[in-house]
Amino acid sequence: MLGPIVVGLGGLATLLALGLWQLDRLDWKRGIITEAERRLSMPPVFLPVDLDAERDDYLPVFVQGRFTGDELYHLTSQKPQGPGFDIIAPFEMTDGRRILVERGYVPQDQRDPATRTAPDGPQRIEGFLRWPDDMNRFTPDPDTEKRIWYARNVPSLSRGAGTDPVMIVQAPTGVEEFPRGRAGVVRIRNNHLQYALTWFGIAVIWLVMTLFWAYRQRT
């Protein structure tokens, strides 16, 4: 019985270690969320030249310049309006830098810029920096002919728009028509507690099965 018992205890130790590792990841992710919330509460600053996706995520900023080029469309949905698109537009700053601005959501029937009032002339845009990456292995490739993206991935979007890989999520503009901008809310997934409980649950099942097997062997 020694060999199977060693295997059983080894498996239990491994499962418990995985659960404890997820608890460490939980603390790490909570720290990231707390820092992002602190950063988001700061007053906006002019867009820095030297940017870091980890350090500057959710940093409130403002820029001056004008919208240029064709819009990109991120397929999404918003309650209670339903399916629609996030409008992501290239923006040329007064210092020559070209970045992306996520202007906000529009319903499906307003994707065509002709159905909306286009921003014209010099603009001052306020919002916060984001480098979201919603892609996974099931995400379809973007439809570049229709300029539709199925996930917000800044490097991919910037290649499609011919800009630097920088995106500002525009703050609410106070207008009634779409797009209206988006309020700053930290949206960082944190499922590590769920993962930890899963590993600990499997560890309990493993222990019960090991004890049951040992009991059966003795009888």
Looking at per-residue pLDDT, the higher value among 116 and 196 belongs to 196
Q: CA–CA separation, 21 vs 26, rounded Å?
A: 9
pLDDT at residue 48, rounded to an integer = 95
Q: Is the pLDDT of residue 130 over 70?
A: yes
Residue with tokens 């991120």: 74
Helix axes 192-218, 2-40, angle to 10 degrees: 170
CA–CA distance, 192 with 210 (Å, rounded to integer): 27
Cβ atoms of residues 68 and 91 within 8 Å: yes
Contact call for residues 10 and 2 (beta carbons, < 8 A)? no
How far apart are the C-alpha atoms of 139 and 118, rounded to whole Å?
A: 30
pLDDT tens readout for residues 32-71 = 999 999 999 999 999 999 999 989 999 999 999 999 978 9
Instruction: Look at residue 203 in the predicted model and tell me its pLDDT.
Output: 94
* pLDDT of the residue at 92: 96
Residue 200: phi and psi, rounded to 5, are: -65, -35
In Å, the largest CA–CA distance within the chain is: 86
**pLDDT tens-digit map of 93-109:** 999 999 999 999 999 99
pLDDT for the residue 3: 66
- What is the average pLDDT score of the chain? 91
Per-residue CA distances from 207 to 1, 19, 57 (Å):
15, 15, 43
